[in-house]
A and B are shown apart, each in its own frame.
Chain A
Amino acid sequence: MAGLRDIKRRIVSVKSTRQITKAMKMVAAAKLRKAQEAVAASRPYAAKMAEVIGALGAVSQEASHPLLLKREEKNILILVFSSDKGLCGAFNANVFKAVHNLIRENEGKGVYVSVIGKKGRDFWKRRNVIMEKAYVDYTRDINYQFAQKIAKEVIETFSLEKVDKIFMVYNKFRSAAVQDPTAVQLLPVEAAGGKKEDATDGDILFEPSMQAVLSAIVEKYVEVQIFQALIESWASENGSKLVAMDNATRNAGDMITALTLQYNRARQAAITKELIEIVSGADALKS
């Protein structure tokens, strides 16, 4: 029976797909745990950094730094955090949607994008924007050095006045099931000035000088923000992948159930048909 064999073949194929998605789900779960730990471990540093920048902003209003200066916005750069691999649900689509919104808000200005991740590169290559830089195959080296490299290039682009404002768009990690596409301004650095009690005692000592401290810290701050975005995005990617693969596994299971039912019905129909043929054959002989 050809129909029967076709169904059987489909069952086997769906089963092997299910096995793959199940394995991918497990891998995503393991990576997610690692990424979550990395996010948790880096938050104290990032929080402290933001606090320090806030305190500095409060006492150093007059001490300017090139990276703090606002300029007339002619061109903007958007740093897009996407993934290298697909099969992670709406992860990339969400980021791209947020980027589109950002571009719409900045209509009339020149838009550059720098993307991190293959998926982003492939997507934005075909869009009406200028691709500044693309960092691909980064998943293996998600570490601070990588963030430093990006930061260095971004700061250079900004310092050369090629762009006047830089945004980052990435998936902020809430939980495995929930990620918020977030857009934040990276440069010029917005020192959340005038914050709480730190502002009152303006007699902080600096060594070697306020200017030196400020310039060292501001650059560091950019690095830290990029690093933070990078690992948040990585955690989100795996969370998104976990959910997507879980759904896929479940769907494959449903499909197998339906196909098995269909298979059994077809087999039963075939048996019935054969029986009828035998019986009618016997009847024909008898008469």
Chain B
Amino acid sequence: METQTLQLDILTPEKRVVSAAVKFVAAPGTEGEFGVLPGHTDFFALLKSGEVVFEDAAGSHHVAVSWGYAHVRAEAVSILVENAEKAEEIDVERAKKNMEHWEQAYAGVTSEDPNFEIFRAKIERAKARIETAQRVARR
């Protein structure tokens, strides 16, 4: 039996960011972006920093997410991430400053440094936030 909408939950340890009935979800998997429509087969995917897009009755929404994973079922999608911010709530100035800060830190270390991966993840996260916010602002 196919359902018409998906129950989408975007959760972080600190709060529930999104809980909505949606028609379509796209998420940034580590192996590439994927889309989910109602009736999708059971599916687990790791996510990287990027943008989750979903469409509900009111139109499409963008949410910047950091590392996490998605659990997809026929009638529901649960996205569990460390951080999630709705595009409308992103402070671009702050994100930009953040990115500069981490880029400087990143430039100063070699790939053997234990912080190397952390810095790169920080930059990616900041980039995802900026891009998400800008894409929404352009419209």
Residues of A within 8 A of B (CB): 38, 41-42, 44-46, 48-49, 52, 55-56, 143-144, 147, 201, 203-208, 210, 212-213, 216-217, 220, 223-224, 227
Contact = CB atoms under 8 A, between A and B. Distances in A.
A189 to B, nearest CB: 16
A144 B80 contact: no
B14 A143 contact: yes
B11 interface: yes
B29 A207 contact: yes
Contact of A204 (B15, B30, B44, B80): B44
Contact of A207 (B11, B15, B31, B82): B31
B28 to A, nearest CB: 12
Interface string B90-132: 0000000000000000000000000000000000000000000
Interface in B10-55: 11-16, 29-31, 34, 41-46
B46 A48 contact: no
Contacts of B80: 45, 48-49, 52, 220
Contact of A216 (B29, B42, B69): B69
A245 B38 CA distance: 54
A201 B71 contact: no
B31 A208 contact: yes
B44 A45 contact: no
24 contacts: A38-B14, A41-B14, A41-B15, A42-B13, A44-B16, A45-B12, A48-B11, A52-B71, A52-B80, A56-B44, A144-B12, A144-B13, A144-B82, A147-B13, A201-B42, A203-B41, A203-B42, A204-B42, A205-B44, A207-B34, A207-B43, A207-B46, A213-B45, A216-B46
| Chain B, interface residues (CB within 8 Å), range | 20 to 34
A204 to B, nearest CB: 4
Given A52-B44, A52-B80, 20 more contacts: A41-B15, A42-B13, A45-B11, A48-B11, A48-B80, A52-B71, A56-B44, A144-B12, A147-B13, A201-B42, A203-B41, A204-B42, A205-B41, A205-B42, A207-B29, A207-B43, A213-B69, A216-B69, A223-B13, A224-B13
Nearest to A148: B82
A213 B82 CA distance: 15
Main secondary structure of the interface of A (DSSP, over half): helix
Nearest to A213: B44
Nearest to B71: A52
Nearest to A216: B46
Interface string B42-78: 1111100000000000000000000001010000001
A55 B78 CA distance: 13
B29 A44 contact: no
Contacts of B71: 48, 52, 55
A234 to B, nearest CB: 13
B95 to A, nearest CB: 18
Contacts of A143: 14
A217 B69 contact: yes
A45 B42 contact: no
Among A44, A143, A144, A224, the one with the most B-chain Cβ atoms within 10 Å of its Cβ is: A44
A48 B9 contact: yes
A212 B31 CA distance: 12
A46 B82 CA distance: 12
B13 A227 contact: yes
Contact of A45 (B13, B34, B69): B13
Contacts of B82: 144
Given A144-B82, A217-B69, A204 B14 contact: no
B103 to A, nearest CB: 21
A227 B34 CA distance: 30
